[in-house]
Structure 1
Amino acid sequence: MLENPRSPRVRAVAKLAKRSARKESGRYLLEGPQAVREALKFAPDAVEELYATPTAMEKHPDVRDGARAAGVDVQFADETVIEAIADTVTPQGVVAVARQTPTSVRDVFAASPRLIVVCEEVRDPGNLGTIIRAADAAGADAVVLTGRTVDPFNPKVVRATTGSLFHLPVALGGALADVVERVRGAGLQLLAADIDGADLLVARAEGLLAAPTAWLFGNEARGLDEASLALADRALRLPIFGRAESLNLATAASVCLYESAFAQRAH
């Protein structure tokens, strides 16, 4: 039983909340039973360490069983240790350390995708995590992040995906122009979500959304710059029927992805 929150081992795990430590070690934190459960089920080889309170293991026997099946030892710890490790204010008693296993951009496009998400300078961890979750729910084939987007292994991103991080490929790309070149090579159209774009409902009526598509989403505050928009085949906006000024990025992305998913499945 780990009981000292200041021990070197605990401090080393807690440091993974910082990007520098994640980059240096190639590891990251998973917090809460849902994230750990999905990691053990869909990426068991990536899970290296598992810390939990006895109470949490009693409450979540499926996590304990998943760890046993994956060959991961459960290290029991008291609540002060879990609090020291976790990034959240009120952790749920289960924290794991996993190895980063991003997919290569080349592999994403070599798999003949029909629906891809490309994020350019998405900076809010909660938004990125929710976009990954929405992409998973809509049946997207992968999410590609350009170099200016927030680290997908940030604890807040991981939590916001609620396990979807382990359900579909998430690739770390370089410059947007290079990613777009691969989009073109794979035969996908590139649709940019932009507040000044054409009405998405018109694009739907034209049948545009049924084609293999990469959706491009930009920064929460500034959107996509002119150079990025120029790379897209079309820029589309969601119509606002009420008095809201705009939609949150993750909400808008969810609608765009489902519109494509609906259209593609109707053909």
Structure 2
Amino acid sequence: MIPVRVDDPDDPRLADYRALEALAHRSDPHRFVAESELVVERLLRSDYGVASVLTTASHCERLAPILAARPEVPVYVGEQAVLRQAVGQNFHRGVAACGLRPAGLRWNDMSPETDRQPVLEDTLLEDVAGRPAYTVLLAQGLADPANVGAIVRAARAFGVDLLLLDRAGADPLSRRAIRAAAGNVFAQATLGVGDLVGAVQRLRGAGATVLAATPGPRARPLGAVVRPARLVILVGSEGQGLPAALRAVGDDEVAIPMRPGVDSLGVAAATAILLYALAGAHGPGL
């Protein structure tokens, strides 16, 4: 790995990092940008493709062993002032990387390549459904990338085998989501799904028990639920909750008991509690 010095903020090799702030509001269907030393380190250690790394000299030195293990990744090094001009904002984190999206996480992609999405869904769902025990988490309708990132982080922490995300919701590879997930999205098996009901029905038909998280009157308290070997947990948006179509394909409803006067927790906090109680406590090391 031989870093390439860049002194011109208009260098065409830095095109992926232009107007970095704008990427907080839109998703590129093929690439994404990850920031901070910890997050970039986790990206480089993952199986994700990486188009390039942009960094200051000091961060490059600290990341040298990891960069050496990925010799195919171009590394561009520049002064803080040059990088700040190139990205269009303060480059205080000191390092960023342009990653290549896996097919299952191509948000806002209307290209012919999206035809492969159903095939990918079939492959991943069949793989999980064939296991004797697993935990699948499905999150529907989450508009806030910070919530999506926090849920990715909880899924990784508590041993979720597959995280299914609503493709109509926030992008898990947006800047805010990656930051909230602390880079754990690169290690967590995650798939964007269009037909949420169909995905749940397939897992249920293969022997999974489906629990819908809802504060509704039919819900059983979390402490009364006995964890099955094959488990699918459904969580919905804070405002609307799970739609009737998803609740209808569930086997049971579950709620977290709370003091009177508190109607709900934020979706990220509630999901972490559900996963700890139903998934993580049964995993190795927990």
Same fold (TM over 0.5): yes
**Segment drifting more, 100-109 vs 12-21:** 12-21
Structure-1 separation of matches of 2:258 and 2:177: 28
Deviation at 1:7, TM superposition (A): 4.5
Partner residue of 1:13? 17
CA contact (8 A) 1:187 1:212 kept: yes
Structure 1 residue 99 displacement after superposition: 0.6
Q: 1:223 matched to which residue of 2?
A: 241
Name the CA shift for 1:19/1:188 in 2 (closer, same or farther; >3 Å). Answer: farther
1:32 — aligned with what? 36
What is the alpha-carbon distance in structure 2 between the residues aligned to residue 260 and residue 138 of structure 1?
A: 9
How many residues end up aligned between the 2 structures?
A: 257
Q: Answer yes or no: is the 8 Å Cα contact 1:82–1:91 preserved in 2.
A: no
Separation in 2, partners of 1:231, 1:257: 20
Aligned partner of residue 190 in structure 1, secondary structure: strand
- For residue 51 of structure 1, report the CA deviation from its aligned partner: 0.5
Question: Does 2:250 match 1:232?
Answer: yes
Cα gap change, 1:144 to 1:85, in 2 (>3 Å): farther
Q: Which runs of 5+ in 1 are unaligned?
A: none
What is the alpha-carbon root mean square deviation over aligned residues? 2.6
Alignment of 1:167-246 (within 5 A): 167-196=187-216, 197-204=218-225, 207=226, 209-241=227-259, 244-246=262-264
1:247 is aligned to 2:265 = yes
Equivalent positions of 1:50-65 (< 5 A) are 50-58=53-61, 61=62, 63-65=63-65
Give the CA deviation at 1:173. 1.2
Query: Cα offset for 1:18?
Result: 6.0
Pair 1:108-2:124 in alignment? yes
Query: Partner residue of 1:92?
Result: 93
In structure 2, C-alpha distance between the alignment counterparts of 1:87 and 1:156, rounded to whole Å: 17
In structure 2, relative to structure 1, the CA distance for the partners of 1:239 and 1:190 (3 Å cut) is same
For residue 252 of structure 1, what is the amino acid of its counterpart?
Answer: A
Aligned position for 2:274: 256
Maintained 8 Å contact 2:16/2:98? no
Q: CA 1:170/1:91 → structure 2, altered by over 3 Å: closer, same or farther?
A: farther
TM-score by length of 2: 0.80
How many percent identity over aligned positions?
26
TM-score, normalised on structure 1? Answer: 0.85
Q: Take 2:18 and 2:205, find their aligned partners in 1: how far apart are those partners? A: 42
| Contact 1:30-1:98 within 8 A present in 2 as well | yes
TM-superposed CA distance for 1:140, in Å, is 0.8
Aligned 8 A contact 2:215 2:254 in 1? yes
